[in-house]
Chains A and B, each alone.
Chain A
Amino acid sequence: MTAALALERLTYAYPGADAPALDDVTLHVEEGELVVLAGRSGSGKSTLLRLASGLVPHVHGGTVSGAAHVAGMDVRAHGPGELAAVAGSLFQDPETQVVMGTVRNELAFPLENRGESPAAIARGVEEASLALGIAHLLERPTHALSGGELQRVALAAALVGRPRIVLLDEPTSQLDPVAGDELIGLLRRLNEEWGTTILLAEHRLERCLSAADRVVAMVDGRVACDADPAGFLAWAHDAAPALETPGARLLASAGLGPPPVGVKQARAVLRAHSALPPEGPAALRAGPVGSGCARAALPGGARASSPPPARSAAAPALRLRGVWVEPRHSMPILRGVDLSIASGERVALMGRNGAGKSTLLRHVAGLASPTRGKVSASGRVALLLQNPNDYLVHERVGDEAQPDALSAVGLAHLRDRHPRDLSGGERQRLALAIVLGGEDVASPALLCLDEPTRGMDRAHKADLAVLLGRLAATGTALLVATHDPEFAALVADRVVLLADGAPIADGAAAEVLSGGWYFATETARILRGAGGALDPDAGAALVRAQLDAAAAWPAAASPAVAPAAAWPAAAPPASHPHPTEVHRR
């Protein structure tokens, strides 16, 4: 049988580029495989996917050498239109991939382009919509869909022609943890039930590794590792720690092995070493909404108070009192939000797509006025919106922001470059410099960031967390809307969870992010929230302590789980590493 994708010594360079984006790549993906493409930003993942879809070189231009075949079709001889018959593509931003007015027409479009009969089109649309669970959306206008719905519709449009291979470039980057997990589960089901070959590029590897047959890691345009998920994690531990999943890092730091592919395997390893925390109440361990205080539910069932995050005695940086946002012709977006943030406090705002996070930030920054309620801030509020490109209007980095602001974000050396020539992470930092302003502008009392890690790799996230930590240390309060629990754990000392426009949990990060199923870090899910450990280092410390305890009292430990009394009640605040001390491996 022909390979779904076959690259032989393929090298590709974009027009005018100094270095090739793909360098001597040899890769074979067989029919029915689910392959995850891993790698840092700029490593060549997207270019490889664009090559497989024919956009490279037919749309982007550039020079190609070597051979590339998709389902037996030579990529150099066949354009994206012809390759669309065998390869479905889904990219990061669903808004730019939907071209028709209604969902039904969007799904019918690829089949109409192939000249299918009306009956075949109707059947194809029906089946794809049922498979993706979007049958109820068929008559909806595409401009009225949420981000998650749009991504599903775009995926259905990619699948409706029953392609042999589906190419996905960070399809979960704009989705909340729930929708992201649903999408990965859906891909697994399509792969298992339809036999569709899937090539998936993703930064949040912990989300998709357990569904993968193989992982291909790219470094500087080359294939650096091609192995099964466990083999990839073993390679990443030595060669590319930035690609290691939190679960793998947790076990490696605790001196346990083999590296786990997902939460289930990690727990199995811990269970085998009698280091798995006991089952306990996993409910959100957050305190009264709006208080910022927290109550901790201990693994043993006892409850104790933990100290609230440190507050300044001065006026809070931000205070929201009964804020309602009620559009005239739709349901309320914010419902009586009460929130107070102290100077220097770092707050993560989490919740599903459409929960009201972005709306809240817009009202805090004064871009809109609430229907009812009051928003007051002790000083200037800076807001960094989702897309840094929206801020870039000049031809030169140095014209976009003041020199001291550029220095603060580490871009002073790039002041003569064109802003559009910067990498994604650099653009994000430049946008941050623009909203922060220079010495001639008062430093903000509050900095709001809306999904600042969209499409960022783990190393860039850590860099951003360090930068934000420095800002917070100067007294600027932070309010960060994010879907990424790992980043929230890295940057925040308090987490507010929004649902349907109202806060449903508000507490210390160690408690909110350790008690849930979706809004929890991988470390917390593995350890079942024990000790409030959110990151691999804190988790590993707990596991090591547990291993030592089990060694000291071997009779007390059951073969399956560790004794409850051996686990700490809650992680002390100091156990959470400050972003300025983030460990970069």
Chain B
Amino acid sequence: MPLRSASRSASPLHAARAAVGCALCAALALPALLFDSPPVLGAVALAALLAGCAAGAGRQLARALLLALPFTLVIALLNPLVTRNGLTVIARLGEAPVLGRVDVTLEALVYGCVLGLRALALILCCALYAAVVDPDEVLRLFRRVSFRSALTATLATRMVPVLQRDGRRMADAQRCRAGVAPSRVALVRAVAAGALDRAVDVAAALEVRGYGTARRPPRVRASWSRHDVAFALVAALLLALTVGARLGGVARFDAYPLVHGGWGAGTWLLSGALLLLPLVPFLDRRGIEPRAAALALAWGRR
């Protein structure tokens, strides 16, 4: 589930403060927004996936990947059908309603793949954020600035698993119906009504917990751990590298009118750095028991 709330596990990234986790995910996502180069986008996607695995959230990231792949494919296939750019025609599909004359170009196909890869990289970065950053800590982090906005954003994440459970229950209930199944429109309407009911329930719970009169919380100073420092450093390096490479014209890639990209050492060095840098802090596993030992200990306590 890509947007499932983070569950705490023993990893350096989980041990880092929420601000650092947010910074790392943002720094990792930034190159995906600024560069079109396929090696760079691939490196970002792979880095997010590997960081998730190293943080013990591999299953969540794998689910996000499975959900994102069809989306990626759709983008890649749709772009050449709707784009008129590009000089190398590889297929003439004739006239189509709404679209008009459809000539598929190599450049549009390549750029569709780039867009799909970018979407994939961004989805994986978001999935990494959802898997490793505690939304409660994010709430604490941002509510000194804007409590209500932070709470709304955090609860939106929190509501996802609740609504998913509701959705599963409703799906089961519909499978239990005798006779003809209801129309999709009726189902969508019922799901929307159920979500609104849930939202009202949660709003009532918030009110009776004193949310309506929430005061600005006092500042809490906590010393920086070695994991905080390591991941913050990595986030800063990623940011500097991304901005520097962009300003320096490294890893340029143009799809139109003809595919033209910089495939030199700079591109590969940048991609390698984006791939490896986020993984370096995971090497420090002092104080974290191996998984087998932790499982054995947990089993012994039963």
Determine the residue in chain B with the shortest Cβ distance to A157. B209
Given A89-B208, A367-B172, A437 and B178 contact (CB-CB distance below 8 Å): yes
**Contact between chains at A82 and B212 (CB < 8 Å):** yes
What total of chain A residues lie within 8 Å of the partner, measured CB to CB? 68
**Contact between chains at B207 and A99 (CB < 8 Å):** no
A105: B residues at CB distance < 8 A:
136
**Contact between chains at A393 and B5 (CB < 8 Å):** no
The one of A54, A84, A99, A434 that contacts B177, using a Cβ cutoff of 8 Å: A434
A348 to nearest B CB, angstroms?
A: 20
**Contact between chains at A96 and B212 (CB < 8 Å):** no
A434: B residues at CB distance < 8 A:
177-178
The one of B169, B202, B214 that contacts A385, using a Cβ cutoff of 8 Å: B169
The one of B5, B162, B186, B210 that contacts A95, using a Cβ cutoff of 8 Å: B162
A405: B residues at CB distance < 8 A:
178
**Contact between chains at A96 and B205 (CB < 8 Å):** yes
A470 within 8 A of B: no
A8 within 8 A of B: no
Tell me, in angstroms, the Cα distance from A98 to B136 when the chains sit together.
12
Which B204-255 residues have a C-beta within 8 angstroms of A?
204-218, 220
B211: A residues at CB distance < 8 A:
81, 113
Which A96-126 residues have a C-beta within 8 angstroms of B?
96-102, 105, 109-110, 112-115, 117-118
Tell me, in angstroms, the Cα distance from A79 to B208 when the chains sit together.
9
A296 within 8 A of B: no
Determine the residue in chain A with the shortest Cβ distance to B216. A115
**Contact between chains at A435 and B186 (CB < 8 Å):** no
B266 within 8 A of A: no
A382 within 8 A of B: yes
Residue among B165, B174, B206 with most chain A CB within 10 A: B206
**Contact between chains at B217 and A402 (CB < 8 Å):** no
**Contact between chains at B155 and A99 (CB < 8 Å):** yes
**Contact between chains at A97 and B179 (CB < 8 Å):** no
The one of B172, B178, B202 that contacts A390, using a Cβ cutoff of 8 Å: B172
A436 within 8 A of B: yes
A283: B residues at CB distance < 8 A:
none
B7 to nearest A CB, angstroms?
A: 5
**Contact between chains at B5 and A113 (CB < 8 Å):** no
Q: How many A-B residue pairs have CB under 8 A?
A: 157
Determine the residue in chain A with the shortest Cβ distance to B218. A117
B235 to nearest A CB, angstroms?
A: 23
**Residue-wise interface mask of A (379-416) relative to B, using a CB-CB cutoff of 8 A (1 in contact, 0 not):** 01011110101111110000000100100000000000
B215: A residues at CB distance < 8 A:
113-115
What total of chain B residues lie within 8 Å of the partner, measured CB to CB? 52
Which A534-553 residues have a C-beta within 8 angstroms of B?
none
Determine the residue in chain B with the shortest Cβ distance to A114. B210
B213 to nearest A CB, angstroms?
A: 4
B289: A residues at CB distance < 8 A:
none
A362 within 8 A of B: yes
A437: B residues at CB distance < 8 A:
177-179
A161 within 8 A of B: yes
B161 within 8 A of A: yes
**Residue-wise interface mask of B (141-166) relative to A, using a CB-CB cutoff of 8 A (1 in contact, 0 not):** 00000000000000100100110011
B134: A residues at CB distance < 8 A:
101-102
B213: A residues at CB distance < 8 A:
79, 81-82, 84, 113
B194 to nearest A CB, angstroms?
A: 7
Tell me, in angstroms, the Cα distance from A380 to B179 when the chains sit together.
12
Which B243-297 residues have a C-beta within 8 angstroms of A?
none
B92 within 8 A of A: no
**Contact between chains at A384 and B207 (CB < 8 Å):** no
**Contact between chains at B177 and A143 (CB < 8 Å):** no
Residue among A84, A87, A144 with most chain B CB within 10 A: A84
**Contact between chains at B206 and A102 (CB < 8 Å):** no
B203 within 8 A of A: yes
**Contact between chains at A55 and B172 (CB < 8 Å):** no
**Contact between chains at A382 and B176 (CB < 8 Å):** yes
Tell me, in angstroms, the Cα distance from A438 to B182 when the chains sit together.
15
A83: B residues at CB distance < 8 A:
208
B31 within 8 A of A: no
The one of A55, A95, A112, A393 that contacts B189, using a Cβ cutoff of 8 Å: A393
A420: B residues at CB distance < 8 A:
193
A384: B residues at CB distance < 8 A:
176
B193: A residues at CB distance < 8 A:
420
A6 within 8 A of B: no
B22 to nearest A CB, angstroms?
A: 15
A97: B residues at CB distance < 8 A:
201, 205
B56: A residues at CB distance < 8 A:
none
B135: A residues at CB distance < 8 A:
101
A66: B residues at CB distance < 8 A:
none
Tell me, in angstroms, the Cα distance from A109 to B206 when the chains sit together.
9
B69 within 8 A of A: no
A118: B residues at CB distance < 8 A:
218, 220
B140: A residues at CB distance < 8 A:
112
A139: B residues at CB distance < 8 A:
8
The 10 closest A-B pairs by CB, nearest first: A81-B212, A437-B178, A115-B215, A81-B213, A390-B173, A96-B201, A84-B210, A113-B210, A393-B190, A80-B207
Query: Which residues on B are within 8 Å of A, measured CB to CB?
Result: 5-8, 134-136, 140, 155, 158, 161-162, 165-166, 169-170, 172-179, 182, 186-187, 189-190, 193-194, 197-198, 201-218, 220
